[in-house]
Structure 1
Amino acid sequence: MSKRKEHSQEIAAAKAGISVRSARRIECDARLPSQKPRRYWRSRPDPFTDVWDTEVVPMLKSEPRLQAITILRKLQDDHPGQYPDSVRRTLERRISQWRAVSGPAKEIFFPQEHAPGIRALSDFTDMRALDVTIAGLRFDHRLYHFVFAFSRWEYAQVVEGGESFEALSSGLQNALWQAGGCAREHRTDSLSAAFKNLREREDFTTRYEALLEHYGMNGTRNNRGKGHENGSVESSHRYLKEAVDQALMLRGHRDFEDRAAYEEFLRDVVMRRNRRNAAAFRIEREQLMDLPPRRTTDFAEEEARVTRCSTFTVRGILYSAPSRLIGHRLKVRVYGYRLDCYLSGAMVFSTPRGSHAANSTRRSIDYRHFIDGLKRKPQAFKGLAFRNELFPREAYRRTWEQLDVRVSQRDACKTMVGLLELAAMDGIEAVLATRLEAMLSDGALPNLEALREEFAPRQADCPVIHVQMPPASCYDALLGQGAAA
């Protein structure tokens, strides 16, 4: 009506976003829309009168989760040409009203009040959507996420493997010791690391029960498929990932020099979030139980023999080992993200833990363990069973593909082994990969001798120092001066 003062009815209706007919009706009626009585009668006949009680209601009673569009498609098939798509909204309103009056009861969500120091929650969350890379390589990982229900204080830890007990134990203990106390109850979802889910009676695993007993906590879990019962940590997943994503955007890129740099970045994000909850955490900290005198184990022990191929198998994953350990039986401590290998009580080497992911080769091979052997037998590289796992970066794999096609097998294997030997030098792997990428882009093959000349460490020329020894008689003069003094 305000626009009608200056414009015609057609222009005022267009500016108000209504039809000319509606504008004419409003202008002719002196009452405001809020002053008119609400209409409770139908303005047109109900198109579902004939089939509502005989067809629609029986379908809803037999399966209340049926959607209106599904029922409409069924009616269109049974009564061709009688129910156009334009009546869909009418059917949706009728079904909604039927469910409110005669439908099944719905699940009730009970809001909870959390007391300080009572409940802590643990869960894992997938971080692949953030596209984090380590030294240019995609870093597919999860986070172990710990939250206190009252104060919302949280802790996060990078997990490369699956949701194992080792990852749960390590993350939980790190969180408790960083917080400085234990909650009375620890809650998770249906983690196989904590619960025997295949049994009729879903009780704790032996190791998880021992972990809870060590810290004096009671273990609980949410009902299967009811993630909202762990809402304190489930909702925090989204907010934490959003905070990490925003920090990555602010950073300008998503690549990190190594895993330690990414963990430091993640720790800063979590600490900033915890500072907002500092007042509530001070209240909760006073109610937490004391920590035990020491941590408990966060690893499992396995035994494995190193084969003559310089490999060993732990939990279905093939790992490489230094060739000097061939024939020895190792004690392997399996942590959440690494394996520590011991021989006669001394740790001989450590390696990242492999993954059981569906797209994983279930091999964790370090090419450095095979360099010396391949230098003596370079032709073995061509048909090596785990050859593809030896390439530390994509550039090396693409280089091998070009060498295999364009030069003889002897020269291709010799050149590739030489490139891997160069890559094994400290700090050379990434630089050499960049150089190989540039060569491949230009259509050239690497010149091994030139690359060795460029990257191999040069022997420094030590200066020749001539030392003139004084005669022994000159020391007599010193003795004489001492006597005179």
Structure 2
Amino acid sequence: MTIAGEAFPHLLFHYRLAWSGWSYAQVVQGGESFVALSEGLQNALSSCGGVPDELRTDRLSAACRNRNGSFSADITSRYHALCSHYGLAYSRNNLRVAHENGRMESPHGHLKRRIEQALLLRGSSDFDSLAAYQAFLAAVLEQYNRPRLVRLEQEKTALRPLPRFRFADYDIEQLTVRRTSTIEVRRVVYSVPPRLIDQRLTVRIYHDRLQLLLGRQIACELARRHGGVERHGRAWSIDLEHLIDALRRKPRALLHCRYQRELFPDERWWQLWQQLRNSGDRAAAARLFTERSGVGRRPLVEALYVGCRVAGYEPVLAWLEKAHQRQGLSLAALQQRFRLPPHRPLPPQRISQHTLQSYDDLLALHPAAPGGGSRTADPAAAAAVGMDPLPLAEHRLAG
């Protein structure tokens, strides 16, 4: 299975009612986990509209430790709490005795063959997006469940009502956003909006996404990444939209950035960067747009900024490739082509040092009273020296 041409490793969570045969399935990313089990089970119970008396599973590592001990000792506390929340009695088949769960094993194979046949009729196993693939699965399941709807309505009379609230189907971590506008979750580095730098966030970790909460408000939601360990012992999930403004202020950081590859929108951008970097001085390549006088003006980041915020990546890349072929890369040409105003740094701030006389003027507002006390200056006298009286906080007794 591929999404937009890239391999999409995943599992299917499959739930089935034993008497009617009605089934529910959804995509699970990142392998077996309690988070995926919790979300899939609760979605299935909500879809069928009730809770059965017993939940039968295989020896899921998300629910059982499988230490060949007693059944009650093997069940994890979180799975026990989930089933208790819905009033479910849980059971599982014995090790390597799959026929004990025959009500599920054989229909599971039938469902997978239906999906395979539907893919053959479709003519392709590539989907434009994950949403398109999920819609395809929903259509297959709808056709699969159609002859079972009558028995489902009959079985609903034996199901208990759903509880008022769902059980938590996410893990929680507390993280502080780094100065680089990134966080690290399960050995994956994610970029976040720069407004969250130095903030303490609560991260809800779902099987397919991350929710970042600042206090009780959702500040950001990110697609969760799964996969093996990559460079520097970590994987990377970088959104250029989060970092482009910081890179524009400090463009030479691109040369030594550990997630340099992830900053480029696609392979063509990366290949152009490699050509420029290998053609000569690395610093000049980082600046990219260099006037013939040799004075470096703006970096490659400026082109990325135009693609990200102004014109889109494809038109900017097409212009860059043509300009590189005719050796016409320059900041002026980029600004003229995309009507980009010239970059002007912020003027330096100059804060004048106040004079010592200002302290005397401040003391003149509150001259010392006899006995060491103080009294509030006359507003007319304050106006005479050109200053306003400062309001004082009133002392209040606890009610």
Structure 1 residues 358 and 372: alpha-carbon distance in aligned structure 2, compared to 1, 3 A threshold: closer
Between 1:190-199 and 1:417-426, the stretch displaced more is 417-426
Q: Alignment partner for residue 3 of structure 2, among 133, 141, 152? A: 133
- For residues 338 and 30 of structure 2, the distance between their equivalents in structure 1, rounded to whole angstroms, comes to 35
Spell out, residue by residue over 1:196-235, the C-alpha distance to the aligned partner (whole angstroms, 9 max, x if none).
3458444322221111111111111222344444344444
Query: Post-superposition, which runs of at least 4 consecutive aligned residues in structure 1 deviate over 6 A?
Result: 442-458
> Does structure 1 residue 217 correspond to structure 2 residue 101?
no
Instruction: Quote the offset at 1:373 in angstroms.
Output: 1.3
Q: For 1:445 and 1:233, locate their aligned partners in 2 and report how far apart those are by CA, in whole Å.
A: 65
2:235 aligns with 362
Q: Indicate conservation of the 8 Å contact 1:312/1:320, yes or no.
A: yes
Q: How does 1:149-228 map to 2 (within 5 A)?
A: 149-197=18-66, 200-201=69-70, 202-228=73-99
Query: Are 1:148 and 2:32 counterparts?
Result: no
Q: Distance in 2 between matches of 1:284 and 1:427?
A: 57
Is 1:162–1:355's contact at 8 Å kept on the other side of the alignment? no
Work out whether residues 396 and 433 of structure 1, in 8 Å CA contact, stay in contact via their aligned partners in 2.
no
1:417 aligns with 2:301: yes
SS of 2:40 mapped into structure 1? helix
Shift of 1:183: 1.7
* Structure index of larger Rg: 1
Report percent identity of matched pairs: 40
CA deviation string 1:270-306 (max 9, x = no partner) = 1111113223323322322221223222122210111
One of 192, 199, 203 as aligned partner of 1:328? 199
Is residue 259 of structure 2 the alignment partner of residue 389 of structure 1?
no
Q: Does 1:378 align with 2:378?
A: no
Out of 298, 311, 318, the position equivalent to 2:182 is: 311
Residue segments in structure 1 that go unaligned for 5+ positions in a row: 1-130, 459-485
Give the match's secondary structure for 2:15. strand
CA 1:323–1:290 in structure 2 vs 1: closer, same or farther (change >3 Å)? same
Aligned-partner Cα distance in 1 for 2:132–2:120: 16
Task: Determine helix, strand or coil for the equivalent of 1:241.
Answer: helix
The 8 Å contact of residues 439 and 445 in structure 1, kept in 2 or not, is answered as no
Q: What is the CA distance between 1:162 and its match in structure 2?
A: 2.6
Amino acid aligned to 2:275 = Q
Q: TM-score, normalised by structure 1?
A: 0.58
Please tell me whether residue 344 in structure 1 is matched to residue 215 in structure 2. Answer: yes
Deviation larger for 268-277 or 255-264: 255-264
C-alpha distance in 2, partners of 1:142/1:234?
Answer: 15
Question: Which AA in structure 2 matches 1:207?
Answer: R
How much has 1:184 moved relative to structure 2? 1.4
Q: Residues of 2 paired with 1:132 and 1:444: CA distance?
A: 38
1:267 aligns to 2:151 (yes or no): no
Does structure 2 conserve the Cα–Cα contact (< 8 Å) formed by 1:151 and 1:280?
yes
Quick one: distance in 2 between partners of 1:214 and 1:205?
Answer: 14
Q: Which moved more, 1:415-424 or 1:340-349?
A: 415-424
Q: How far 1:249 sits from its partner (Å)?
A: 3.6
Give, in whole Å, the separation in 1 of the partners of 2:76 and 2:181.
Answer: 34
CA distance in 2, matches of 1:448, 1:265: 48
Distance 1:446 1:269 in 2: 54
- Name the SS for the 2:252 alignment partner: helix
1:62-141 equivalent positions in 2, closer than 5 A = 131-134=1-4, 136-141=5-10
Q: Measure the CA separation in 1 of the matches of 2:238 and 2:209.
A: 13
Measure how far apart 1:181 and its partner are.
1.0
Secondary structure of the residue aligned to 2:132 is helix
> Whole-Å Cα distance in 2 between the matches of residues 389 and 306 of structure 1?
19
- CA distance in structure 2 between the aligned counterparts of 1:217 and 1:426, rounded to whole angstroms: 55
Closer, same or farther: CA 439–427 of 1 in aligned 2, 3 Å: closer
In structure 1, what residue type is equivalent to 2:286? C
Question: Could you report, residue by residue, the CA deviation over 1:42-73 in whole angstroms, capped at 9, with x for unpaired residues?
Answer: xxxxxxxxxxxxxxxxxxxxxxxxxxxxxxxx
SS of aligned partner of 1:287: coil
Alignment gaps of 5+ in structure 2: 289-299, 342-399
Equivalent residues of 2:272, 2:321 under 8 A apart: no
1:401 pairs with 2:274: yes
Q: Partner of 1:355: helix, strand, or coil?
A: coil
Q: Distance in 2 between matches of 1:446 and 1:216?
A: 71
Q: How many residues align?
A: 324
Q: RMSD of aligned C-alpha atoms?
A: 3.6
Residue of structure 1 equivalent to 2:297:
none
Q: Are 2:166 and 1:295 equivalent residues in the alignment?
A: yes
Q: How far does the alpha carbon of each residue in 1:135-168 deviate from its partner, in whole angstroms, 9 at most, with x for none?
A: x433332222222233322112122223221111
CA distance in 2, matches of 1:286, 1:457: 66
Please identify, of 401-410 and 182-191, the stretch whose mean Cα deviation from structure 2 is larger.
401-410
